[in-house]
Structure 1
Amino acid sequence: MNTFFEFTYRNQHYISFSHSRNGELLAYHYVPGELQKLLLRSNYNFSLFKQLVIESTPEQGFSATTSKERVLLPPLLLPEKSGVIVSGFGLTNKKKVLSSGNTANPTPAWFYKGPGHVLKTDGEPFNIEHGVTAICEEAEIVLIYMIDTQGKPHYIGFTVGNDITDIGAIKASPTAFSYAKLKECSVSERIFLHPPPFVLTGTCNVFRNHQVAFSSTFETGIDQLYYKQEQLIDMLFRSPALRQTGLMHYIFLGADQNSFDQGHSLIDGDTISLRFNELDLSLSNRLVLQGA
């Protein structure tokens, strides 16, 4: 599978294609921002991109003893995080749309989560501001797009993420939807340079005081969408403001359910652990509620 991930080690940036030799992880040093340039040079062809990376710098091996010093990074995150747009679509899941009993909107609501500063990855805490009503997690597929020099969006690949929302505010007032989405969120460090999966299953576990306080399963994927993926993306990128050269987009596609839907309340200090079965990936983040 065409995939890679990035990390820092002693303040240096590295990319790995998951290859190993004699128990060492093989990786390649890069300067932040360089990967986006290599994607452009390769015309978004993974094989050529990989070749350019390998030719650009000597291969380095990292032993297992270095793992605690390696810091995972969101995939392709620009060094200038203000050049990143993190957003998503709400109420896209077939189950939610069909069970609401209401006439479905022609397109679901789009929301903005923030610039690249809101993106966390595995092991990092969610810092949530004072005044939230009730927080929930949502396990989702995240599409990654890059805007080229002609202002054209290019799909790079997908990862998975956890879309944190003040669901309590939305339940109290639907007009709070956009504000409730302005929260930190997380994505896996691994990007897959393929179309997103039709079906992706997993489990959500909430740990409280080192014990499981809540557990459930989830199902996501393109087949779970009420709307066509192409329809969502075409509508979004009609706006020239979102097609400025060099912008990176991380787009959350929607979830089927969350812990709040099932009667569970998250509190300060909870750790939300998502497991995406088919990708063999996990994503874990601790909830830090300011003023709690």
Structure 2
Amino acid sequence: MRLIQLVDDAGEARVGVIDRDGARVRVLGSSRTTYALATAAIAANRDLEQQAAQEQGDESLDYATLLREDRVLTPLAHPDPAHMRVTGTGLTHLGSAATRDAMHQNLQDHVNAGSLTDSMKVFQWGVEGGIPRQGRPGAQPEWFYKGDGSVVVAPGQTLPSPDFALDGGEEPELVGLYLIGPDGTPHRLGFAIGNEFSDHITERQNYLYLAHSKLRACAVGPELRTGSLPRDLSGTSRIRRGDTVVWEKPFLTGEDNMCHSLENLEYHHFKYAAHRRPGDVHLHFFGTSTLSFADGIAVQPGDCFEIDLPALGAPLVNPLQTVAAGFALGGVRSL
């Protein structure tokens, strides 16, 4: 099932189910948000598809019009953004076959020379043990925090890059969407396309700056796909500058293209009790192997990111804009 959150013709937030051909959106009758729909499903011991069937309404809207008019919201949010955690894991993807061979060769060169960096060590641990076996967790991945719900941008909306940033580049990724149940059980609602959006120049200065580089906005949507995913997913990431495509590259994701299983990545996120607080929402980015920055692309304000992963529905499109950070040296007031 493909779900979206939308603004209806009356200007109200609603939940819709996209029909099989992707042309129309059936608006649900009672739950006004995906959060409310999922909460009702958990309470009734149903899955999302069953709950949506219980709430099916008569109103139908044109999906292309909703996208064109920027009336599609992020597919999951919390009524209080402070109760939404946006996080991710890195060094999880092997990339294409050619990239995989190059990575393995590079890794072996470092092993032979006894010169593994900390990043290469974490990647090696994932390659060797990123999948649980015999009921035991696999290796821990790299993990990072991006912010709360206030950093998430809807499809079509501007991705803001603070004026102190050294770069603002796309990262095309799968995102897992979760709601913590009343008993502390994490419930995966499904998956969406994400643009994790990071400051790669800051990160490359020193790997200890990774945490700084990730504290940026991100975009998620337009759709939430319920259920399991194909193991092999392919998409295209591109950057448009006006009418010109200045960069375009295919990317691979899904478990066949990862050194960690999704189960392992979920375990290492939710094993922390603080990440299992009832009622909280989590958006978790699963990593990528394709970046325009790695190809020497320097983005500019006004550039438009487009991430197309057909298995997850319509592309995620967002323009880039530099914004004032709103804080200056000496801005802390003593009481």
Q: If the length of structure 1 is used for normalisation, what is the TM-score?
A: 0.89
Cα offsets for 1:227-281 (capped at 9, x unmatched): 2222221121111111000111111000012001111111211111111133442
Is the alpha carbon distance of 1:77 and 1:66 closer, same or farther for their aligned partners in structure 2, counting shifts above 3 Å? same
User: Would you say how many aligned residue pairs link Structure 1 and Structure 2?
Assistant: 287
Cα offsets for 1:181-211 (capped at 9, x unmatched): 1111111121111123312111122111321
Deviation at 1:76, TM superposition (A): 2.5
Shifted more, 146-155 versus 278-287: the winner is 278-287
Q: Once superposed, what is the RMSD of the aligned Cα atoms?
A: 2.5
Deviation at 1:88, TM superposition (A): 0.5
Unaligned runs of 5+ in 1: none
1:117 equivalenced with 2:119 (yes/no)? no
Instruction: Give the strand-richer structure, 1 or 2.
Output: 1
Unaligned runs of 5+ in 2: 111-119, 126-138, 326-335
Is the alpha carbon distance of 1:238 and 1:216 closer, same or farther for their aligned partners in structure 2, counting shifts above 3 Å? same
Equivalent of 2:279, from 218, 226, 246?
246
Contact 2:235/2:309, CA 8 A, preserved across alignment: yes
**What is the one-letter code of the residue matched to 1:31?**
R
- What is the match of residue 59 of structure 1? 58
Is the alpha carbon distance of 1:24 and 1:72 closer, same or farther for their aligned partners in structure 2, counting shifts above 3 Å? closer
* Amino-acid identity (%): 24
- What is the match of residue 48 of structure 1? 50
Deviation at 1:127, TM superposition (A): 0.7
Separation (CA, whole Å) in 2 of partners of 1:50 and 1:85? 25
Deviation at 1:19, TM superposition (A): 3.5
Contact 1:35/1:76, CA 8 A, preserved across alignment: no
Separation (CA, whole Å) in 1 of partners of 2:3 and 2:229? 15
Secondary structure of 1:204's match? strand
Separation (CA, whole Å) in 2 of partners of 1:197 and 1:48? 21
Secondary structure of 1:165's match? coil
**What is the one-letter code of the residue matched to 2:32?**
V
1:283 equivalenced with 2:316 (yes/no)? yes
Secondary structure of 1:169's match? helix
Q: Which is higher, the Rg of structure 1 or of structure 2?
A: 2
1:1-292 superposed matches below 5 A: 2-9=1-8, 10-19=10-19, 25-29=25-29, 30-32=31-33, 33-54=35-56, 58-62=57-61, 67=66, 71-95=71-95, 98=104, 99-100=106-107, 101=110, 102-103=120-121, 104-105=124-125, 106-290=139-323
Cα offsets for 1:24-80 (capped at 9, x unmatched): 6431253345223222134242342123322xxx52233689646561111131221
Is the alpha carbon distance of 1:24 and 1:152 closer, same or farther for their aligned partners in structure 2, counting shifts above 3 Å? closer
Secondary structure of 2:210's match? helix
**What is the one-letter code of the residue matched to 1:227?**
H
Contact 2:222/2:314, CA 8 A, preserved across alignment: no
Separation (CA, whole Å) in 2 of partners of 1:44 and 1:145? 15
Separation (CA, whole Å) in 2 of partners of 1:64 and 1:241? 38
Is the alpha carbon distance of 1:246 and 1:70 closer, same or farther for their aligned partners in structure 2, counting shifts above 3 Å? same
**What is the one-letter code of the residue matched to 1:220?**
T
Is the alpha carbon distance of 1:70 and 1:184 closer, same or farther for their aligned partners in structure 2, counting shifts above 3 Å? closer
**What is the one-letter code of the residue matched to 2:15?**
I
Deviation at 1:121, TM superposition (A): 2.5
Shifted more, 30-39 versus 183-192: the winner is 30-39
Contact 2:28/2:52, CA 8 A, preserved across alignment: no
Is the alpha carbon distance of 1:16 and 1:166 closer, same or farther for their aligned partners in structure 2, counting shifts above 3 Å? same
**What is the one-letter code of the residue matched to 2:39?**
K
